[in-house]
Amino acid sequence: MGRIFLFLLLPIFIFAAQVKPFKWNNGESFLNFLEHKKLPLSLYYNMDKEDQKLTEDIPYTANCQMLISSKKTIKQILIPVNDELQLQIYLTPKNRYSMRVIPIISETYKEVLYTQIKSVPYDDILKATGSKNLASIFVKMFKGRVNFKKDLKAGDPLVIVYEQKYRQGKLFSMPEVSGAMIEIGGTRYALYRHSDGRFYDIKGAQIEKFIFKLPIRNARITSGFTKSRYHPVLHRYRAHVGVDFGARPGTQILSTGDGKVSFAGYSNGYGKTIKIRHSNGLTSLYAHQRGFKPGIHIGSNVKQGELIGFVGSTGLSSGPHLHFGMYDGSTPINPMGVMKKKTEGFSGKEQRVFVAIRSKLDRIFNEKLRTKPIKSRGYDFQDTYYVDKESFKVKAF
């Protein structure tokens, strides 16, 4: 009985309200956004400091949604701040707007792609999975190690072992690759993700160029990078999209790498802030500064290790520290994942961990090469799920 009643209500609901998707506006501040939508600015001022800072890191590419009633009243707005948390602005039953940070519901599947080269790896991976992100991650991984243009021939196999998030049945967020291989004329090139999150070749040699250095001498991390953490006392979801270094006021801040200053000024949450764009497309951010080194301005070229400013407590800061961020486009990434690392190969326990990871991935690679999954589908999945190519819905076997 109750179910029939719901079915009767459903069409009314659909006609009464409308969901409007929109992209976060490049460069728009959260306060501007509230103003444009004629929402109370108190929504921002009533947030606590950490949540306010979160609003400054909404990626320009964020896919937002607005639910509007037939009377053009905004009933709800969802703004993703990363792939795990979103801001929810909603109309309460008392007709007041409220805001909170809530998790984004998504499902993660372990997947294995097997395909054979028909044109170039990027196109073949995109065709098999529909994921531009996966295709470009693969190409970046092997860049400089394999000459795809020269050596590759039709029929050469490649395998990628990865995790993919789905939201409402659609590909969502960046895939997490744990290993990948490509065979060229019978020679295998394989890369494995170690427990430190970085890729190594079969001998355990680093493949990434670790060009970045810590921005503070004798750095002491007081708060690490996290996309989502539940605070048991505050009963809130939290994110911290950078690394905090505890340091005395006035401590020198050094550029993490060569680059060009793309921002030097004041931002609400981050206070006196410098952003530096590096040649590999990443941007580093240095917040809460007491002051900049004289002469530093937008357009300045800086060298790695060059003094750019001094530790302070400007903006929404609980005390003197450096908030250090790293961005790929407008998406925050963990800065510690791209810092220079002092290792000359593995030894002891770390070596054993790496060998275990490598063996597991090699087993998956070999299995895929042996079983040669049905070509027409071009890809299959480790677990009992697959994605329908037409609808992108996750289906069970």
Residues of the shown chain interacting with Zn ion in the complex, contacts defined by CB under 5 A: 242, 244, 323
Pick between residue 184 and residue 316 the one whose CB is nearest to Zn ion: 316
One-letter amino acid for residue 4 of the chain: I
Pick between residue 131 and residue 267 the one whose CB is nearest to Zn ion: 267
Nearest approach, Cβ of 47 to Zn ion (angstroms)? Answer: 16
Pick between residue 181 and residue 241 the one whose CB is nearest to Zn ion: 241
Pick between residue 271 and residue 378 the one whose CB is nearest to Zn ion: 271
What is the CA 331 to chain-centroid distance, rounded?
Answer: 6
Pick between residue 49 and residue 217 the one whose CB is nearest to Zn ion: 49
Q: Assign residue 260 a region (left: φ > 0; alpha: ψ between -120 and 50; beta: otherwise).
A: beta
- Distance in Å from the first CA to the final CA of the chain: 33
What SS3 state is found at 69? strand
Pick between residue 241 and residue 387 the one whose CB is nearest to Zn ion: 241
Residues forming beta bridges with residue 310, ordered by sequence position:
252, 291
What is the spatial distance between Cα 376 and Cα 293, in angstroms, rounded to a whole number?
A: 60
Nearest approach, Cβ of 374 to Zn ion (angstroms)? Answer: 49
Nearest approach, Cβ of 214 to Zn ion (angstroms)? Answer: 15
Residue 118: both structure tokens together: 């028909």
Nearest approach, Cβ of 8 to Zn ion (angstroms)? Answer: 51
**Maximum distance among all Cα pairs of the chain, rounded to whole angstroms:** 74
Nearest to 285 by CA among 253, 241, 326: 326
Nearest approach, Cβ of 269 to Zn ion (angstroms)? Answer: 10
Nearest approach, Cβ of 317 to Zn ion (angstroms)? Answer: 8
Nearest approach, Cβ of 57 to Zn ion (angstroms)? Answer: 10
Pick between residue 242 and residue 271 the one whose CB is nearest to Zn ion: 242
Nearest approach, Cβ of 87 to Zn ion (angstroms)? Answer: 18
Nearest approach, Cβ of 51 to Zn ion (angstroms)? Answer: 13
Nearest to 44 by CA among 90, 99, 3: 99
Half-sphere exposure in the Cβ direction for 321 (13 Å, CA) = 19
The neighbour count for residue 295, using CB atoms within 10 Å, is 6
What is the spatial distance between Cα 109 and Cα 397, in angstroms, rounded to a whole number?
A: 14
What SS3 state is found at 387? strand
What SS3 state is found at 378? coil
93 secondary structure, DSSP code: T
Pick between residue 221 and residue 357 the one whose CB is nearest to Zn ion: 221
What is the spatial distance between Cα 99 and Cα 224, in angstroms, rounded to a whole number?
A: 25
The neighbour count for residue 144, using CB atoms within 10 Å, is 9
The per-residue b/e assignment along 58-74, b for 16 or more CB within 10 angstroms, e otherwise, is: bbeebebebbeeeeeeb
Nearest approach, Cβ of 278 to Zn ion (angstroms)? Answer: 20
Alpha helices in the chain (DSSP H): 2-16, 30-36, 42-45, 49-54, 121-129, 132-142, 148-151, 348-371
Q: By Cβ distance, which residue is nearest to Zn ion?
A: 323
